[in-house]
Amino acid sequence: MTQGKELQISELEQITGWLETAGIEFIEIGGKGAVVRLTLERQTLERQTLKGKSAVNPQPAPSVRETQVIAVSPGVVLTCHPMRSTPFVEPGAAVRQGDVLGLLRIAQLCLPVVAPCDGVVVKWLVEPGATVGYGTTLMTLAPARHL
Amino acid sequence: MIEVLSNAALATIQDQGRQGYLRYGVGTSGAMDRVALAVGNLLLGNPDDAAGIEIPLFPFRVRFTEDVAFALTGADCSARLGKRPVLPWWTLQAKKDDVLTIGVPASGARCYLLLKGGVDVPIVLGSRSTQLRGEFGGFLGRQLQKGDVIQAAAVESAYTEKEGDAAGFGVTPPSWTLGGLETSPVANPADTVVRVLPAAEYEAYEQDSIEAFWRESWKVTPQSDRYGYRLGGPVLNSKRPVEMRSHGIVPGVIQVPPSGQPIIQLRDAQPSGGYPKIGTVIEADLWRLAQARIGSKLRFVQTNYEEAVDALDELDRYMTKLRHLVGLHRGDRP
Amino acid sequence: MTSIDSDQKPRISLLGTSAMLFEAPGELDLRTQRRIWALGQRAATWEGIREAVPGMSNLMLTFDRPPRQPASLAAALNDAWAEAEELSLEGKTVVLPVQYGGDFGPHLSDVVAHTGLPVDEIVALHSEPLYTVYALGSHPGYCYLGGMDPRIAAPRRKVPVLGLPGGAVSIGGVQTGVSASAGPSGWNTIGHTDMSFFDPARTNPAMLAPGDMIRFRVERVVR
């Protein structure tokens, strides 16, 4: 890998292609000393549904002591690893900071959704298979139980 | 960089194989699952010819003697780094004294442990693969043992962990993209299906043997390993006894010895042989075979040369796409 | 002994998408083998060919990338074969002392049973010729030899035997050879010799090459 790899125009084209396919309208890509912001402009803003999976659910206002787990990337939400059928976590599970709660899949790439702190899983706020954008709240964690 | 904690695990150092010495009697060796090795190298930003550790027997434990990034691909073997789970087809940073425990896979037969920079063993006759019969290459020409210390090639810059990196990242397994192959509706979905091209002696077999070859599921018997998979199933009979002259063979060739039970020659097979050949598993499907466990069943599907070459192209396109995706994600990481 | 289809034309087949196999018709003899050497030398230079691997009156061409038109490659092989002249590779002669029979020759009795010949005659017939190295294969440094007397031919074993030591002298069908390292074999092991056949540290790692010659010298016969 070369150091300081810049985003090539061909790569930008590919990324916009993915975004269009996935129905994502806005993405920021940070790099060394530069941020690329892509916005897909449409005549009408439509809520897109993908193959029967619902899009992002309306998000309830989080309770004061709950922690939000935020998507740090766009992608398709996976609650199980593609090779497994048991979910990473179930509601009520105790998790530690750094635990993998789920995955965000962009094509074949799998990025971890990571617990930002110790806590207890309340629930997923998005459906498995939903496509989310950067910054979407994916899950809430209740404060860790004191054992 | 890592110390082997497990004994008698049959693990070996492999790269993509030792090419160009068949005429000296030196088979290619190399990774049974070339896709798993290649993807593991991609995840780490390693050169394509970097060597890794092929692990066919479980559990397997190693201790990291220094900080190093690693990748784990192939079978899902419920791996743990210390107490933390390590996902399959994943790359992660290990710290000095971390112990990686690779457990028994729920499915699949072997996994690959890759190190940043590649495993550093001498190149012998152009490759770092282990030549077990000749006792050279890889780690002293043998399987790994408890106490072995394996180095990784030096990386140019020290790793500086970036925010959000601690959990690593990965890719979907190849079957997610390349899929399983269809046979008949009555086939057991757990069977491994591979495409086969008939070989020179195909016509020498009795008609009902040929039909059985394609129709039946074949058991991977316990006498199966890197040399070859010995299969259990109906006896294949030739119309007349076939005694052949020794000739070159390649991994994937399905020989039928007098017992009538086929053997699929694999990466450590002799580079030549004299048993009749009924067919050859296509090169593009050898990675599927590599993940068929002992006791599991195989099915053969007939294909033609054009389709077999297309299958290789499909593999190439898949690897190119992954390389691109992973490269974008790795961005300016060393 | 000929293969199941004996006709006058070479037989060409594919080994999946990895290689093409060319089998010369006719007898397994030095003249044919010398033409195979010539064919191999020529085909090794063709585009897309990774390696030309001679066998016993046959040649395997492995591919860098599988050709889209294998029929063209087959045609080229046929043309080159028609033009191939005997390549005279006259190498060195090596004498190998052999202990026949006993613990080192566990299948000598099987050869006796198959041929109907007594041990002493089998040993005499095996050690008489000056064998030519036709090709290497099977395992690092292993030499396939031509020139064995067909009277001591014995078929390959139904079940290969595991763990035969390096230096095992064996008969498989009409061929004979010496194993260069420990491993399994489907041949009939009749004796043992001490010799180093392979050194991976050397640029040319095999001690023997096609065209070299071997003579077996009888050290001992254990009946």
ipTM of the complex: 0.94
Q: How far is CA B147 from CA A12, B135, B136, B266, in A?
A: 48, 19, 19, 29
Give the 3-state secondary structure of residue B313.
helix
B67, B80 in Cβ contact below 8 A?
no
Q: How far is CA B64 from CA B11, B105, B116, B152, in A?
A: 17, 22, 12, 11
Q: Which token pair is B222?
A: 């316990």
A75: left (phi over 0), alpha (psi -120 to 50) or beta: left
Residues A74 and A138 in one domain: yes
Q: How far apart, in whole angstroms, are the C-alpha atoms of residue B62 and residue B146?
A: 9
Q: Which amino acid is at B287?
A: W
pLDDT at residue number A27: 61
Residues A137 and A93 in one domain: yes
> What CATH number is associated with residue A103?
2.40.50.100
Neighboring chain A residues of B86 at a CB cutoff of 8 Å: none
Neighboring chain B residues of A109 at a CB cutoff of 8 Å: 169, 171, 325-326, 329
What's the sign of the alpha-carbon dihedral B322, B326, B328, B333? Answer: negative
Residues A10 and A77 in one domain: no
Q: What is the CATH number of domain C11-83?
A: 3.30.1360.40
Q: Mind spelling out the 3-state secondary structure of B251-275?
A: CCEEECCCCCCCEEECCCCCCEECC
Residue A19 has pLDDT above 70, yes or no: no
Q: Which amino acid is at A23?
A: G
pLDDT at residue number B241: 85
Task: Tell me how close the Cα of B268 comes to any Cα of chain A, in angstroms.
Answer: 29
pLDDT at residue number A35: 57
Residues A72 and A136 in one domain: yes
What's the sign of the alpha-carbon dihedral B303, B304, B310, B312? Answer: positive
Share the mean pLDDT of chain B. 93
Asked if the peptide bond before residue C150 counts as cis, ω within 30 degrees of 0, the response is no
Q: Mind spelling out the 3-state secondary structure of B160-180?
A: CCCCCCCCCEEECCHHHHHCC
Residue identified by tokens 């790692």 is C205
Which one, of B169, B71, B318, lies nearest residue A78 by Cα? B169
pLDDT at residue number C3: 45
Which percentage of chain B shows pLDDT scores above 70? 96
pLDDT tens for residues C94-107?
Answer: 999 999 999 999 99
What are the counts of helices (DSSP H) followed by strands (DSSP E) for chain A?
1, 10
Residue B158 has pLDDT above 60, yes or no: no
pLDDT at residue number A76: 97
Which one, of B50, B58, B94, lies nearest residue B76 by Cα? B58
Residue identified by tokens 């063209």 is C72
**Is the domain covering C93-222 a CATH 2.40.100.10 domain?**
yes
Which one, of A66, A80, A79, A60, lies nearest residue A119 by Cα? A66
Q: How far apart, in whole angstroms, are the C-alpha atoms of residue C104 and residue B247?
A: 27
H or E element that contains C200: none
Which percentage of chain C shows pLDDT scores above 70? 97
Residues A39 and A83 in one domain: no
pLDDT at residue number B181: 83
With bands split at pLDDT 50, 70 and 90, how would you rate the model's confidence at A132?
Answer: very high
By residue range, what is the domain housing residue A26?
A: 1-46
Say whether the C–A interface has 3 or more Cβ pairs within 8 Å: no
C128, C152 in Cβ contact below 8 A?
no
**Which chain C residue lies closest to B307 (C-alpha atoms)?**
C17
**Which chain A residue lies closest to B172 (C-alpha atoms)?**
A108
Task: Tell me how close the Cα of B200 comes to any Cα of chain A, in angstroms.
Answer: 39
Task: Give how far the C-alpha of residue C27 lies from the chain's centroid of Cα atoms, to the nearest Å.
Answer: 14
Domains of chain B, each with CATH number or no CATH: 2-154+166-171 (no CATH), 180-303 (2.40.100.10)
Instruction: Check A114 against B169: CB less than 8 A apart.
Output: no
Which one, of B110, B136, B116, lies nearest residue B57 by Cα? B110
| DSSP assignment letter at B202 | G
Residues A41 and A71 in one domain: no
Burial classification of residue B26, based on how many CB atoms lie within 10 Å of its CB (0-12 exposed, 13-18 middle, 19 or more buried):
buried
Neighboring chain A residues of B325 at a CB cutoff of 8 Å: 106-109
Provide the number of structural domains found in chain A. 2
**Which chain A residue lies closest to B45 (C-alpha atoms)?**
A1
pLDDT at residue number A52: 40
Residue B333 has pLDDT above 90, yes or no: no
Residue C30 has pLDDT above 50, yes or no: yes
Residues A75 and A123 in one domain: yes
B243 part of contact set with chain A, CB < 8 Å: no
Which percentage of chain B shows pLDDT scores above 90? 86
Q: How far is CA B26 from CA B16, B41, B53, B269, C52, in A?
A: 15, 25, 21, 10, 13
Q: How far apart, in whole angstroms, are the C-alpha atoms of residue B75 and residue B102?
A: 10
pLDDT at residue number C5: 45
pLDDT at residue number C22: 98
Which one, of B174, B128, B180, lies nearest residue B151 by Cα? B128
Chains touching chain A through at least 3 C-beta pairs below 8 angstroms are B
pLDDT tens for residues B169-226?
Answer: 999 999 999 987 877 777 788 899 999 999 999 999 999 999 999 999 999 999 999 9
Chains touching chain C through at least 3 C-beta pairs below 8 angstroms are B
Residues A138 and A71 in one domain: yes
Q: How far apart, in whole angstroms, are the C-alpha atoms of residue B285 and residue B196?
A: 9
Share the mean pLDDT of chain A. 75
Helix runs in A59-107, H state only: none
Residue C7 has pLDDT above 80, yes or no: no
Q: Does this chain's domain C11-83 share its CATH topology with C93-222?
A: no
Instruction: Check A108 against B167: CB less than 8 A apart.
Output: no
pLDDT at residue number C8: 85
Residue identified by tokens 């912001």 is A37
Q: How far apart, in whole angstroms, are the C-alpha atoms of residue B282 and residue C18?
A: 8
* Identity of the residue in B321, B325, B333 whose CB atom sits nearest the CB atom of A1: B333
Residues A42 and A106 in one domain: no
With bands split at pLDDT 50, 70 and 90, how would you rate the model's confidence at A1?
Answer: very low
Q: Which token pair is B72?
A: 């784990």
Residue A9 has pLDDT above 70, yes or no: no
Task: Tell me how close the Cα of C111 comes to any Cα of chain B, in angstroms.
Answer: 16
Q: What is the pairing mode between strands B192-198 and B297-302? A: parallel
CA angle B237, B238, B244 (to 5 degrees): 125
Overall average pLDDT of the B44-63 stretch: 96
- Give the total residue count for chain A: 147
Residues A29 and A87 in one domain: no
pLDDT at residue number A12: 60
Residues A138 and A79 in one domain: yes
pLDDT at residue number C184: 82
What are the structural domain ranges in chain C?
11-83, 93-222
pLDDT tens for residues A50-84?
Answer: 344 444 445 555 555 889 999 999 999 999 999 99
Sequence-separated (6 or more) residues with CB below 8 Å from residue A40 = A16, A19, A20, A24, A25, A26
Overall average pLDDT of the B35-49 stretch: 97
CB atoms within 10 A of CB B36: 29
Which of the residues A12, A108, A109, A111 would you substitute to probe the B interface, choosing the one with the greatest number of B C-beta atoms within 10 Å?
A108
Residue A24 has pLDDT above 70, yes or no: no
Q: Which of B156-165, C21-30, C109-118 has the lowest mean pLDDT?
A: B156-165
| DSSP assignment letter at C156 | P
Residue A61 lies in a domain: no
Residue A47 has pLDDT above 70, yes or no: no
